[in-house]
A and B are shown apart, each in its own frame.
Chain A
Amino acid sequence: MSKDRPALVELRFELNGKDVAVECEPQQTLSEVLRGRLNLTGAKISCEVQVCGACTVLVDALPVSSCTYLAYEAQGRSVTTIEGLEGRDRTLHPIQQCFIDEFAFQCGFCTPGMILSAKALLDDNPDPTDDEIIHHMDGNLCRCTGYVPILKAIRKAAAVMKEARG
């Protein structure tokens, strides 16, 4: 063991609406902490080079690649993972429901990242055009479904969420 082992980070952040405290090492990624320490395995790890988006989580409402984003950066911030999306009454988030309704996944590996990325878009831009959806989702790759059902699901979720707001 190295004699001057870097100091541990005493990490405190809001995770899916609840305060959490966990110790981590400075070089640990957010996905390592979420998956390995906090048992939240919704964020999937694939390319590890910020290309595929399977590891997408939201930090202060912005999508980040948890495969590369250091856990240290989450200090004092609000992190949302796919596990935090369902409502208090355990109903699915409209985007989750629309992904089911539109058959927008097959194996499901890309789905948590797709849904969180879509959430970031719709929370910021509730009524996006197809071009805006495609541009925003450009960095989330799916190897089995094809992108048309995903586009349809996001379009439908926008409409459902709009109606719910009244």
Chain B
Amino acid sequence: MTALLTPVAALGRGTLSLLALIGRITLFAIDTLSHLVRPPFYFKEFGHALLYIGYLSLPVVGLTALFTGGALALQIYAGGARFNAEAVVPSIVAIGMVRELGPVLGGLMVAGRVAASVAAEVGTMKVTEQIDALVTLSTHPMKYLTVPRVLAATLSLPVLVAVGDVIGIMGGYVVGVTRLDFNGAVYLSNTVDFLEFWDVASGLVKGAVFGFIVALMGCYHGMNSGRGAQGVGRATTNAVVSASVMILASNYLLTEVFFSA
């Protein structure tokens, strides 16, 4: 009997600890927001975070978008050809990029890059007592470490997404013109004509939410890192995994919201 119940008990324990984790992350997010609106604000840290999280993520996000846009054009052409609708390629590439793939893939790439490095950095600070040292030097770790990173990621991801959108569409354009015999001017005018304001805006909003998630997860797992190198390693993994899962889950929820609206 007990042997039969073991998996059930494990499932129960897993569920409980997952709920507890969600609770702790929610509290951490609220704490971050409450420190965001209270001085002092560390501008220099914010500047560094903006440079590292935003500017230095440009190549990763740009390359991802370029290849995705190209592949998307080929796929939609292949699909469209089945009912003689090849002409939809430009508009579907544009819509697919700006509404979905730009923010999601950009978010995931940034999750891999930024959540990992933030968690490793903050986690190392935690295990080498640098966070305790901050406290004794009258500097709140949430204000000094978390707020600048979360704010920088939330503000810079929409910009990265916007750049990614343009590059992705260009990727589709290059493939469309060189491989699929589209006329360049027609391709571009189709792209622009069918794109609506909300297509772009919803993608940028998604980007902001994903940026918030990425930096928050990096800081949360870093600050709660276990002891030693192993603890930091685990914190890094957890940060990337949870940021990625949360990006995909919130992407669905946001899409649902924008879809109904």
Partners in one complex: no
By a beta-carbon cutoff of 8 Å, the part of chain A in contact with chain B is none
